[in-house]
Amino acid sequence: MPTTMTYREAVRAALAEALRSDERVLLMGEDVGRYGGAFACSRGLLEEFGPERVRDTPLSEATFVGAGIGAALGGMRPIVEIMTCNFALLALDQIVNHAAIMRHMSGGQFSVPLVIRMASGGGRRVAAQHSNSFEGWFARLPGVTVLAPATVQDARTMLRGALREPDPVLIFEHILLYPVQGEVDEQADTDIRRAAVRRPGRDVSLITYGGSLPKTLAAAEQLAAEGIEAEVIDLRCLRPLDTELFLDSVRRTHRAVVVDEAWYTGSLAAEISALIMERAFYDLDAPVARVCSAEVPLPYAGHLEDAALPQAAAIERTVKEMMAGHG
């Protein structure tokens, strides 16, 4: 029987399952222990598993990500939590120049089975240093897997798949998803490399991931009320991309809108648009459109932040303009 829980509770249940099932697993990061995590995802785990396996770290991302890499090389299965993806930039050297390339640089002698979790995205009124979507930056990086669980079910099960990987996995959890409720099948498993069709449709493919999925589904509902059936694709895995799934959708609907909370310039949306142009150009009835964040640091003021981020109304408007302009 499915159970109902929040995204936050699903992450916590996934962490607890990992710690119980494998003594090599440990959780480390800022405030993950006594405080229970910046977003309450590890509450109660210190009491159950103790300070050896749930470790509060100093305020130094480069240090504790490096420690996670060392633990992984030494046979552990560390889960490192970085409070927000903005702070992952402080550990770029460790992630890019060490974790991601260790297998390649060692000629296959070493691997880094490390999972790094981090919150991402805007909408919480916490200003530019805490609100970015850097998933696309990391998805450019050979040697890692990049996941963006957008549903409560995926929050519950994708960590399980990530811990099976022999090389680093980065998991981006959108901050607006933590309180969202959903049904979870505890026995289900998730193929972390497969995208998912969240809503079938025939008129346009809406391709998105993470915190933009609820907005995209809301836009699709409104469009359906007006006679436009949008197919909603949840990428789930951003590296490697499940390219064939969204290309197959575009070949059937003949239109595509990519929704990405990152900035337009150099975004994952730009990469997806290029892939569609390269591999499905002659199936298109209209140019690929993108709905992304405004090219500004994310504002603190609520009305300005809302204006800067992709919203359901903008997605709906983009689709209507596409349909009206190209039949």
Return the active site residues: 61, 130
Q: Identify residue 194 by its one-letter amino acid code.
A: R
Burial-class residue 32 by CB neighbours within 10 Å (0-12, 13-18, 19+). Answer: buried
Q: Do you find a cis peptide bond into 240, omega within 30 degrees of 0?
A: yes
Q: At what angle do helices 152-162 and 7-21 cross, to 10 degrees?
A: 20
Report the side by side order of strands in the sheet with 115-120.
54-56, 25-29, 77-84, 115-120, 169-174, 145-147, 237-239
Alpha helices in 22-175 (DSSP H): 45-49, 61-73, 85-88, 92-94, 102-105, 135-138, 152-162
Largest CA distance in the chain: 62
Q: What is the CA radius of gyration of the chain?
A: 20
Q: Give me the DSSP letters along 150-180.
A: -SHHHHHHHHHHHTT-SS-EEEEEEGGGTT-
How far apart, in whole angstroms, are the C-alpha atoms of residue 190 and residue 173? 16
Return phi, psi of residue 26, to 5°. Answer: -140, 155
Q: What share of the chain is helix, strand, coil (3-state, %, to 5)?
A: 40, 20, 35
